[in-house]
Amino acid sequence: LLLPPRCLVCRVRAPEPWCVACRAEVVELPAGCPRCAGPSDAAHGCWPTPAPVTATVARYRYEGPVAAAVVAAKVGGAHRAWGPLAAGLAPRLADVEVDLVTWVTTMPDRVRRRGTDHAAALAAGLGPVLGAPVRATLRAGRTDRHPEDLVPTLALGSARVAVVDDVLTTGATAWRAAAALRAAGAVAVTLVVLARAGGHALGPGARPHRPRPV
């Protein structure tokens, strides 16, 4: 904590997450489809009709400095960067109205190995922005249905819920999280992520996008 903040990409001294030069390489997503945060053209890859996700908010494309920052914060020990990364989402959340903020819970063994639940750290920074309480509502664990399942831990009473994660890749994990929240009573689930990887269709069975290296 006593070390000066550094850019998560090039490691020069700079306010996290990026120095001026690396920030210039960050690709922001344009305003697009409100359901999936993808392109707004008619043929874009979106959530299928039965998806439990109501809307998706993302700011960045998952590549280059964004991918490097997420990896550094998630598995490289740069845990304090989640606060600045969460602050970067604030401009995209002005019109989002929810009653509760929660997150896609990480498996316990990964939390122990990494030293933090990254999505919980993101959610903690976004609660004040959204003006809603932040609560753990999902338990991660192995079940007969899936080796990394998400199970609701409390009734949500027809709440509008924002569920937070770092990156939207295939959408399979977000789908399980949103389905669990719907089963607990949520009437709407808005997925809030830092970045979306690619413009492919989302959901179980979707093909992942591999980001370009820095």
The per-residue pLDDT of the chain, averaged, comes to: 89
Reply yes or no on whether the pLDDT at 179 is more than 90.
yes
| Cβ burial, residue 61 (10 Å; 0-12/13-18/19+) | buried
Q: How many CB atoms lie within 10 A of CB 97?
A: 12
* Residue 189: predicted pLDDT: 98
Reply yes or no on whether the pLDDT at 178 is more than 70.
yes
Rounded distance, CA 52 to CA 78, Å?
32
Least confident of 55-59, 144-148, 168-172, 187-191: 144-148
Half-sphere exposure of 194 (CA within 13 A, CB side): 30
3-class secondary structure for 132-170? Answer: CCECCCEEEECCCCCCCEEEECCCCCCCEEEEEEEEECC
Reply yes or no on whether the pLDDT at 213 is more than 60.
no
If you average pLDDT over residues 141-166, what whole number do you get?
Answer: 85
pLDDT digits (tens, 9 = 90+) for 73-114: 998 888 889 999 999 999 999 999 999 999 999 877 887 888
**Measured CA distances, 51 to 97, 122, 158, 182, 203 (Å):** 20, 24, 18, 11, 8
